[in-house]
Chain A
């Protein structure tokens, strides 16, 4: 019998309930192995020695109750080996009764289930962590969805999400409001079928079918259309097709901005400036006329001082006139209304005339022309002449102590190139970067010289419109060279 018990891999003990404190009277080999204690350290002890100081486990009270009541039980309880290591003990305890029904002994069968316990614990831990992470992710997702939809609902732009067949997946409030439609009549329907086919616009079809597939995204595409309820509208469309893999792939975001009013305001501003400049020029014409009449009637014996003062009047009349033109130009550039009248002209001739014009207003300066192109150029002659005059007048203005200005013209491949070189103040690297910006004026220069800071901006815009480039090289105290290139064949052929 003992041999059979010793062969078991479960630890087995027997306690004698008839003795005080229910001592262990038998243990098998497996029990010694599980606990690390030897037989002599076990026999005679109460089982509680296995719990070491870990006395407050609820399994203990279950055990005590079962012992007191003399019933069997099964618990999993933390026990400690001789060396102090924890092990989970799965304990079956059953009472042995005598003929009178009194409990004389208890048999305990123990198994070390630490490994299983640990695995269970790990599993639980992992499950908890997973749950926590999932909750976090869900929250994050919910938050970012809420964030996204709050953005979508706040933008002052109509937004539509379309599936690849142009069915509307969602529409934001701004869209619904602008086009006076409801969510029900919009979401889930084909874009072209909405309302009375009001979105079945050929240009929009072009955009979605022809342009978007090859030019993703499409930016600022203008469409004008007469809508029911709201009338004729000018819209700016931006479209983007989702290209990354996933649930949104090939969906199309369509942003629709109503720019009808903005465009009207721009046109009105343009009109206003046209009228204002016209009205300003009218009295200016008269002033200039009188000045010229006086000039013709100039007495022979007029003093030097009189003559030079008189000369200045014309200079400032010209200045006022060019300021008026510049203002008008800036407004036109802003609203994209600067028209180019492209025509073939003799380039060298235009340059000579521009220089001549400048010579008469500032006779004190020496403008030296070198080089020749012999080119017939297709461009807007008056605009290009304006660029040359602007560069010359800057060269004169910002070189007050030097009289010489060098102009060089040359052929460079299929371009003509013009350089205007002065020996004046020059400019810092900071200024070099910004002089072509609208209203920018040199930091040092602002207070000493009059000007609005738009001359170079206009030049740059004009040259850009012609597909040429305008740039500056300059060094403080040495002078500046402004150069531009211009395609001879006109901008179309040079794309």
Chain B
């Protein structure tokens, strides 16, 4: 599998750490952003192949980030996996235009499978 650039946006350091470890283990380059206000700029700068995005974040929610991405940016085609622990997460993710939704707590194999599926 090709080495790809994956961006993670989550306000929880623990989750970032876990995702970094597993994605790194399978050979991807991982860039993490824990402040959702900075993620759009980071995308412009880093040009990732895939975004893993949390929903409930302080300041700017993942829903807002995703809507903005889909409507106003050069990255409206960017592949996005939404991960969330909230009950209505799946609905919100689909409505906002996510390519995939995975509920927290997730299974790492699930994450890897989805990443693979979206990148190939």
Contact = CB atoms under 8 A, between A and B. Distances in A.
Interface of A: 274, 277-278, 281-290, 292-293, 296, 317, 321, 328
Contacts of B12: 282-283, 285-286
B105 A285 contact: yes
A293 B22 contact: yes
A281 B22 contact: no
Nearest to B11: A282
A293 B25 CA distance: 10
Contacts of B107: 288, 292
Interface in B28-79: 56
B63 to A, nearest CB: 14
Contacts of B85: 277-278, 281-282, 285
Contact of B87 (A286, A317, A328): A328
A286 B15 contact: yes
A175 B112 CA distance: 63
A3 B16 CA distance: 140
A36 to B, nearest CB: 105
B56 A285 contact: no
**Across chains A and B, which 5 residue pairs bring their CB atoms closest together, nearest first?**
A289-B18, A286-B14, A281-B85, A285-B105, A285-B104
A292 B86 CA distance: 22
Given A278-B56, A278-B86, A290 B18 contact: yes
B21 interface: yes
Nearest to B55: A278
B17 interface: yes
Given A286-B15, A289-B19, A293-B21, A281 B87 contact: no
A328 B87 CA distance: 9
B108 interface: yes
B108 A292 contact: yes
Given A289-B108, A321-B105, A282 B15 contact: yes
Contacts of B109: 292
Contacts of A290: 18
Contact of A289 (B22, B56, B86, B87): B22
A284 B106 CA distance: 10
B108 A293 contact: yes
A281 B25 contact: no
A80 to B, nearest CB: 101
Contacts of B22: 289, 292-293, 296
B25 A289 contact: no
Given A285-B105, A286-B15, A289-B105, 20 more contacts: A274-B86, A278-B86, A281-B105, A282-B12, A282-B14, A282-B104, A283-B12, A283-B14, A285-B12, A285-B85, A285-B104, A285-B106, A286-B14, A286-B17, A289-B19, A289-B22, A289-B108, A290-B18, A293-B108, A296-B25
A321 B85 CA distance: 10
Most buried by B among A283, A285, A321: A285
Contacts of A287: 105
27 contacts: A278-B85, A282-B14, A282-B15, A282-B104, A283-B12, A283-B14, A284-B104, A285-B85, A285-B105, A285-B106, A286-B14, A286-B18, A287-B105, A288-B105, A288-B106, A289-B14, A289-B19, A289-B21, A290-B18, A292-B22, A292-B107, A293-B108, A296-B25, A296-B108, A317-B105, A321-B105, A328-B87
